[in-house]
Amino acid sequence: MSLLTTAAALSAILAHASPSLEDYLQTSLKDVTFTAKKVKAVQKELVKINDDFGMTYKFDRIKFFYKEPLKLRLEATVEDNSGLFVVNGAMQTIKIPRLRIGTKQNLTDSPGRRQTPLDFGVLTPSMFKELFTAKFVRTDRATGDQVFDITYQNPVDTSRHRIWVDPERGITNKREWYNQRGRQLATFNYARPEKVNGVWIPTEVQVRNADNVVAGITRYETFLVNSGLSDSLFAIN
C-alpha cells in the first residue's frame, strides 16, 4: 500500500470515528452561582414524572451554588420555611430548621438520586470521572447535535439519560430520562444559551412528562461564573 493510499485510508477512518463526549465538556467551569426562577408548574402533570420531581416545583426561586468536582448547594424558601440542600460527592444533607428536619445520606449505592450539572444542561469533567459513562449513539441529522446515552458507573442503578449535545457550545439541548425499567419519565429541552465568562450555559429548561405535556418551565438568571466559591459552602455537617 502506498503512502498516499495509507493516508487516505486513515483520513476516512478518522472522518467516521465516533465523537467523544470529552470533546464537549465545560472544562473551564470551576464554579457557578445562579438563581432558578419557576415560570410554569402544573402539579398534576409533574407528579406523573414522580412525586419527588413535583416537589421541586413547589419553590418559586432557588439559589444554586455549584463547584467542581460535584459540589452543589441549593437554598430555597417556601411558605416561610427556609431549606438547605447540599451535595458533596456522594454525601447529601437536607435541612429545614423550622420543621426540625435534618438528614444526612451517603448515596454511593443510589447514584440516581444524586444531583449534578446535568440537571441544568451543563456537562463537566468530574461527572464522567466519578459518576457517569457516556456512549455515542448517533448524529442527529435534523439538528446536527451529537446524541449520547449516559449511564451510571455503579451498575446498581440501571436508569439512564439520552442527551443531545450542541457540538459548537458543548451544552445539552435535549435530555430524555429513563427509569430502571426502561420507561421514559420525562423530556427536558434546554434553551436560550448564554456565554458567561467563557462558559456556555442554558438559561431556560422546559420539562415534558411521558404524555408529552409541558409540566414545568424554569429560567436561570443572575449568573456568576468562576468567582472562587469557598469549599465551606458545601460542608456536610
Measured distance CA(208)–CA(216) in Å, rounded: 7
Residue 3 lies in a domain: no
Q: Which residues form the domain of 198?
A: 20-227
The three cell numbers locating residue 140: 442527529
pLDDT at 81 over 80: no
Q: What are phi and psi of 78, to 5 degrees?
A: -145, 130
Residue 123 lies in a domain: yes
Measured distance CA(166)–CA(169) in Å, rounded: 6
Residue 126 lies in a domain: yes
Residue 234 lies in a domain: no
**CATH code at position 119:** 2.50.20.10
pLDDT at 14 over 80: no
Over range 11-31, report the average pLDDT.
Answer: 79
Q: Structural domain tally of the chain?
A: 1
Question: Which amino acid does the sequence have at 11?
Answer: S
The three cell numbers locating residue 197: 465568562
Measured distance CA(225)–CA(32) in Å, rounded: 4
- Bridging pattern class, strands 132-139 and 101-106: unpaired
Residue 151 lies in a domain: yes
Residue 176 lies in a domain: yes
pLDDT at 7 over 80: no
Residue 117 lies in a domain: yes
* pLDDT for 13: 43
Decide which of 137 and 3 is more confident: 137
Question: What would the pLDDT profile of 160-182 be if each residue is shown by its tens digit?
Answer: 999 999 999 999 999 999 999 99
The three cell numbers locating residue 131: 459518576
The confidence band for 15, taking pLDDT boundaries of 50, 70 and 90, is very low
* pLDDT for 2: 60
Query: What are the beta bridge partners of residue 163?
Result: 148, 175
* pLDDT for 165: 98
Over range 141-149, report the average pLDDT.
Answer: 97
Question: What would the pLDDT profile of 181-233 be if each residue is shown by its tens digit?
Answer: 999 999 999 999 999 999 999 999 999 999 999 999 999 999 999 999 999 99
Residue 9 lies in a domain: no
Distances (CA, A) of 234 to 13, 68, 70, 86, 88: 45, 11, 10, 6, 6
Q: Are 57 and 80 in contact, with CB atoms under 8 Å apart?
A: no
